[in-house]
Structure 1
């Protein structure tokens, strides 16, 4: 049965789609989009930071269009699709009288607007959350086998979009615990797990590196009320702009009339409370709470249909929001109109400037999973991010990018170089330096595995397994080992070089695809008074020490 949407709805929806396609085509990529474009060069069931949906979207768009539009095309479709799903989820027959109010409401939401053309994991998360809620609404009315399977596929799509999707599924389930004894609900769960199995397998094959990073490895600064909790409260305002007082007023006034409304309320309050509690431990990024825009759009629009004063003020303030957003969107393309430097400005020209020196030689960016893919996107040349102890692991740590620069003449680009053949100032004000390396060689995939459970400074001897995953033996003379000490927030503090010992006499190299056993002692750091964690790290050929072990706690 075809969708019966009002003509005005279709006109406005079509206008937004055209606007977003235009914006997508003429706005330079932001860094995260370039990074996800790097994902899409090699489709997989998972990636270091996120599941695979964002890469699939870019891959599909790339078959249809080149450049920025190819990266963002599917996002533009998902955006208008989200608007349609939200509209269908609202039952009030009065809604056809207030089509403009609906579009002002959803289009005035700042991040919901931005994700109309940017390609980020939150874009499919928003779309599949809206689809999940719509199908769930029909499922609780009349559960069937077909709806159960479809619901399961959507839950899997949610999880392939972003790990935060688990909150969406959990809080909806929490709103209706009777689903635990519903056979169709179990069919949906089993379907979701079957569809998500390839990602589970990918995680297992990669030693659950994504989960470990997000839960245990990510550095975190000490608690700061202004940056963390107050920052979270500011984010609550930022996602709605000027309409925020009436958005939250409508939310507070909304009542649980049925299971669907109850699910919307549980999802909204659940996510907000979860991240409010999280704000006492870490900084909550604005996009982490963006998913509440979906249930709140349904709740608030339903509320304004029945309350003329709220409807009037939301419409007026929403129009002002939209005017500001459209002005800023023009500034994304035409830099002089934007009030501050933004990452869509100047990247293409900067990368071309670097290419003018590098020529066809690969470019190795030190500690920048942001610059490396941006360079590859805008120049078509080979690039790589060499990550060291001052940075973090990312997709370049686990994919095959390193192979493309091995034993090549490369232009090495970094903020921190003693040898400076070239200087590359960025529009942001940062200054990068560069020099050529005639025969580049790195071994960032060497892994140091420590199985002991308790560690103290200058304690007994410990054993470390050094695994060489490379196809060639690695001479030990090319390697230096050290202990990297970290503070209680898992931030790097100090390096202490160490000598690894082995029972094998005259050991000259690490054997290919083999593990070598060494012993070591934890030498006391010189500057750091009381380190809380450490890593065993390796420097090859004089490069800065890498990220070669997990973060290990000190007693």
Structure 2
């Protein structure tokens, strides 16, 4: 063991693991973690926003531990696993003399540090990227069907972690197109596809809802250099913190000496360029490029092993980063350490206040997939997200959570109202939420509105499918058209009249379709590009029952 892993390596690795376990236990969840915890309550082969790996990790951890540690335990394991795999991938004999620099380099990488305990889709993505590259290195040295099998399974695990993983696979392939003539490489692809079949089946069964949302339905905004492209370049600096100069210097200075180094450079440059081009179309989130942390960690450490001047700077700034990171971690637990509020602060405060004021009834949140999951985690009570035309769909839109509030007395919570039966102040100490009690609540947000885009004499054909196992009376429904601009940002809402083709029909039968016709009302927004049909009930704003239709 000490031949591969020096004693100091094992000591630092154990210390990191313990630190992450303590951090996980003491730090409240962030909203996305609570949302993924919600995924894990009803495991499936896919979810609205992401593949199922993140939910799988939480499910395993929750069997072992309660609370926040249960959500994060497997992330702590994968984090130290990433350090181990990266160490194994680096074969420079000098590395054993610079273990501390290795840990300082990785610990200073901001998102690698954060994903050491936060449980997000990028956590397994980083681990399986490191594992994939290590196996690929072994395959280049001595190809075999056994290694190909392992690579195939890991490629599937990558794709089960996050759809962005396809970039890892594609750019490594582009670095070595001779793999297209390698039977063992095709064997790995076949294994990966076979392992991924359950998710393909899930996507098909859910009408490819995840793909449609990410590619077609996600709102955007007009291009802004400062927000889009400049913001992206700033993110490229931020993910490496104080060491960004030496990381990118290593990328630029490293010569392509073999196929593995070529793969690392192709992956790094490929992801950077891909999202740079994307930044001219939409805002690139920081975590979308976090995968470059893995190949650049290998390139940077190899580079500084041969360059003493750079190594000294990485060591010095790494120590500064260590202090900053530890202080930031403490601040995540104890808010007074820094005059800013983060998502990990005071969630139990607002949840407990709302739980008390709700008097034990289910709470429905308007236009939020984050707050109902956070509320459910800390209150132990069911919750639901009711999204309208001004928001987006989420896992709550496609799962069975609606049943938990159907025909019950509920508390409807929104930040857009001016009054209500109860009110509470959110933990940001700025946003006031109002809640209104409703008896015998009914929701029909799963009704699907399908518009025939071919108009006939200014009329559109509309089919409404009722997926419920009960009839839905037309008398309980009202219809609207939400008009949006070219970026699918809603700018106007107009009520509209719909006429059933069979005029004697008063219901939409269970698991059946009813045909309507309607004239599109005139929008007050000048030159709308899309409209979306919505259905409302209970006097609430209309839901996201249709897809954006180009005008």
* Matches for 1:389-428 after TM superposition, within 5 Å: 389-428=389-428
* Matches for 1:48-447 after TM superposition, within 5 Å: 48-428=48-428, 429-447=430-448
Distance 1:446 1:437 in 2: 21
Among 460, 463, 468, the alignment partner of 1:462 is 460
1:459–1:281 CA distance, 2 compared to 1 (3 A): farther
1:487 aligns with 485
Could you tell me how far 1:243 is from its partner in structure 2?
Answer: 1.0
Could you tell me how far 1:418 is from its partner in structure 2?
Answer: 4.7
Secondary structure, aligned partner of 2:231: helix
Secondary structure, aligned partner of 1:412: strand
TM-score by length of 2: 0.98
Structure 1 residues 380-413: Cα deviation after superposition (integer angstroms, max 9, x where no partner): 0110011111110000000000000001111111
Could you tell me how far 1:3 is from its partner in structure 2?
Answer: 7.8
Could you tell me how far 1:505 is from its partner in structure 2?
Answer: 2.5
1:208–1:55 CA distance, 2 compared to 1 (3 A): same
Could you tell me how far 1:253 is from its partner in structure 2?
Answer: 0.2
Structure 1 residues 290-337: Cα deviation after superposition (integer angstroms, max 9, x where no partner): 000000000000000000000000111111112111101100000101
1:500–1:208 CA distance, 2 compared to 1 (3 A): same
2:533 aligns with 536
Distance 2:540 2:283 in 1: 32
Distance 2:427 2:474 in 1: 42
Distance 2:121 2:250 in 1: 28
Distance 1:117 1:451 in 2: 48
Moved over 6 A (4+): none
Higher mean C-alpha deviation, range 504-513 or range 327-336: 504-513
Distance 2:204 2:501 in 1: 32
Quick check: 1:398–1:445 contact (8 Å CA) kept in 2? Answer: yes
Among 496, 499, 502, the alignment partner of 1:501 is 499
Secondary structure, aligned partner of 2:98: helix
Secondary structure, aligned partner of 2:412: strand
Distance 1:226 1:238 in 2: 16
Secondary structure, aligned partner of 2:440: coil
Distance 2:436 2:495 in 1: 26
1:16 aligns with 16
Structure 1 residues 362-395: Cα deviation after superposition (integer angstroms, max 9, x where no partner): 0001111100010100010110011111110000
TM-score by length of 1: 0.98
Distance 2:15 2:78 in 1: 15
1:547 aligns with 544
Distance 1:2 1:249 in 2: 32
Aligned residues: 550
Distance 1:544 1:498 in 2: 13
Secondary structure, aligned partner of 2:503: coil
Structure 1 residues 530-553: Cα deviation after superposition (integer angstroms, max 9, x where no partner): 000111111112111000011111
Structure 1 residues 127-150: Cα deviation after superposition (integer angstroms, max 9, x where no partner): 000000000001111111111111
Distance 1:242 1:361 in 2: 49
Quick check: 1:459–1:521 contact (8 Å CA) kept in 2? Answer: no
Could you tell me how far 1:338 is from its partner in structure 2?
Answer: 2.7
2:475 aligns with 477
Distance 1:367 1:236 in 2: 31
Could you tell me how far 1:419 is from its partner in structure 2?
Answer: 4.4
1:177–1:171 CA distance, 2 compared to 1 (3 A): same
Distance 1:166 1:461 in 2: 43
Distance 2:538 2:61 in 1: 41
Quick check: 2:129–2:294 contact (8 Å CA) kept in 1? Answer: yes
Distance 2:36 2:393 in 1: 15
Distance 1:2 1:519 in 2: 75
Distance 2:380 2:167 in 1: 39
Distance 2:438 2:26 in 1: 36
Distance 2:418 2:317 in 1: 53
Quick check: 1:332–1:338 contact (8 Å CA) kept in 2? Answer: no
Could you tell me how far 1:247 is from its partner in structure 2?
Answer: 1.1
Distance 2:542 2:62 in 1: 37
1:451 aligns with 452
Distance 1:320 1:545 in 2: 52
Unpaired stretches in structure 2, ≥5 consecutive residues: none
Quick check: 1:168–1:267 contact (8 Å CA) kept in 2? Answer: yes
